[in-house]
């Protein structure tokens, strides 16, 4: 019960942070996908992984990109040692594969989701997209916040790390 309350509070606080960021962007202060994620504070693991994989410049590029961004909590829910293993230099290829599996070329907004049932990731595999009871799912991950604007695309916050086959 306490864990669920803490999780709910974390999601609410993350939502306020994104609302502030989105509001600022509508007033000319555009930030790219990496900057939006880094400044939010809920994506420390994702940002560290993007740096370790050498993908910062790519995700700061022109795009547009759609990023399904797992929260720190989503990374914490992976089996023990998984993140540490992926961050090792000798596992960079695996890390790049996992991270690029979270990215789709182009800007796919929540309104577009009803029109698709899958999307090709930059990694090369497809992710499944479905709407159930008003909740958008990307494979087995719930979208907990959609359409977070960035200057070079859009972020959809997810509650689970997507793992390619």
Non-local (6+) Cβ contacts of 152 within 8 A are 32, 33, 59, 60, 61, 62, 63, 64, 65
Specify the pTM: 0.81
pLDDT at 33: 96
User: Average per-residue pLDDT in the chain?
Assistant: 85
Specify the CATH superfamily of domain 2-158.
FAS1 domain (2.30.180.10)
- Which sequence spans correspond to the domains of the chain? 2-158
pLDDT at 4: 37
The residues of the chain scoring below 70 in pLDDT are 1-29
Burial class of residue 49, CB neighbours in 10 A (0-12, 13-18, 19+): buried
On whether the CB atoms of residues 142 and 135 are closer than 8 A, the answer is yes
pLDDT at 88: 95
């Amino acid at each position: 019960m306490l864990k669920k309350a803490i999780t709910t509070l974390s999601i609410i606080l993350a939502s306020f942070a994104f609302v502030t960021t989105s509001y600022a962007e509508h007033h000319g202060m555009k930030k790219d996908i990496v900057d939006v994620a880094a400044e939010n504070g809920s994506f420390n693991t994702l940002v560290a992984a993007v740096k370790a994989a050498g993908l910062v410049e790519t995700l700061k590029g022109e795009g547009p990109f759609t990023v399904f961004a797992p929260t720190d909590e989503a990374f914490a829910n992976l089996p023990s040692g998984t993140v540490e293993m992926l961050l090792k230099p000798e596992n960079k290829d695996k890390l790049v594969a996992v991270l690029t599996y979270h990215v789709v070329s182009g800007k796919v907004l929540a309104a577009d989701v009803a029109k698709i049932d899958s999307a090709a990731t930059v990694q090369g595999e497809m992710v499944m997209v479905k709407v159930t009871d008003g909740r958008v799912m990307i494979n087995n991950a719930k979208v907990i916040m959609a359409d977070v604007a960035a200057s070079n695309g859009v972020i959809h916050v997810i509650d689970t790390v997507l793992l390619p086959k």
